[in-house]
Structure 1
């Protein structure tokens, strides 16, 4: 698939998209993001969901009055997400880190930026490039939510082991201060039984 060639980290997702979409449909936002719920805006804002999948996070924010830009490079997920969110305040865009060219070309900033289960798909060089671009998209006093997967890598996927501390240090170089750094068990039972855990991070723009 063309996205696999141009977008680091999408390897293996198109091939098993049908199965993954069924799994994603079972996700409950409040359970997945329990650690970050107290940080979320209670008044409508502008949300950027990078690596939006089928739009589970995007839909939660849109239902609460937020405008959402959902960025998803895997075509199967994006099409499914657009079908699920028809008529909502979600705009879909084919783009991806580390370039994020189409998002940056809009010259917009966002009150909340979400990178859920995305960051570990980027290698060290890509993470350095990506953090500079992500930080520039977070509005003053805005929130960045980011999660890191630790453990075995599913066959056919491209993932790297990246620590929470490395991510905190990198974010700090771009004016983002950590306000949440916790480790949680995996939401999915199969991952829990194989020892997969997650680091859930949140940052505020210091400026």
Structure 2
């Protein structure tokens, strides 16, 4: 029996359905509120919880170098088959520790956390923010989405508020630059999403041009 990483329960067992679902949604539709905030290519992007590779492939097509992190082997295998892009490096790692990611010693212009944060309990979220925030370059952006609504059967999810997430990010030196809510593209009327973006302060003496959408 396969041992699942905490928070990934139900994904490997239904990988075929997840592939059909995630790949049916366009990158620009999923991330429309965030598009104006994403860095211009070429940049370094890390997609934590990359799933089927839809977003990693979109960033690679734009000209970014992408590290795609996915702990579920069934999804990772499907993603590598669907999106064999030379600019994508796949890493088997997971929140909250991200030990293999940190061993790479790299920093990123953009950290993506799409539909993963609500799989962590409170203690895991505390630890995870302390591991994710240092991955950002000065001036870098973290984009995070939170699912709200009934938990699907067989999944491990927690109700996480945008307010809690903003406060936790602030404690790690990140400024909130986007906080919005919107209906789910899939999942019914009783499911909705929070979309958050945080920016790490630029280095002393450096200047940035920020567009807050």
Q: Normalized against structure 1, the TM-score is what? A: 0.95
CA distance in 2, matches of 1:203, 1:2: 35
Q: Mean Cα displacement is larger for which, 87-96 or 66-75?
A: 87-96
Alignment match, 2:66? 68
Question: Is the CA contact 1:3–1:73 (under 8 Å) kept in the aligned structure 2?
Answer: no
Question: Is the CA contact 2:57–2:85 (under 8 Å) kept in the aligned structure 1?
Answer: no
Instruction: Describe the SS at the equivalent of 2:33.
Output: coil
CA distance in 1, matches of 2:69, 2:3: 13
* Change beyond 3 A, Cα 1:36–1:3: farther
Counterpart pick for 1:203 among 189, 198, 202: 198
Question: Is the CA contact 2:60–2:85 (under 8 Å) kept in the aligned structure 1?
Answer: no
Counterpart pick for 2:188 among 174, 192, 197: 192
* Change beyond 3 A, Cα 1:108–1:120: same
* Change beyond 3 A, Cα 1:3–1:178: farther
Whether 2:89 is the aligned partner of 1:91: answer yes
Whether 2:108 is the aligned partner of 1:113: answer no
Count matched residues: 202
Give the drift of 1:187: 1.3
Give the drift of 1:24: 1.2
* Change beyond 3 A, Cα 1:3–1:85: farther
Counterpart pick for 1:156 among 151, 154, 164: 154
Alignment match, 1:146? 144
- The root-mean-square deviation of aligned C-alpha atoms, in Å, is 1.0
Correspondence list, 1:8-157, <5 A: 8-157=6-155
CA distance in 2, matches of 1:87, 1:55: 10
Question: Is the CA contact 1:70–1:90 (under 8 Å) kept in the aligned structure 2?
Answer: yes
Q: Normalized against structure 2, the TM-score is what? A: 0.92
Q: Which runs of 5+ in 2 are unaligned?
A: 203-213
CA distance in 2, matches of 1:25, 1:43: 23
Q: Which runs of 5+ in 1 are unaligned?
A: none
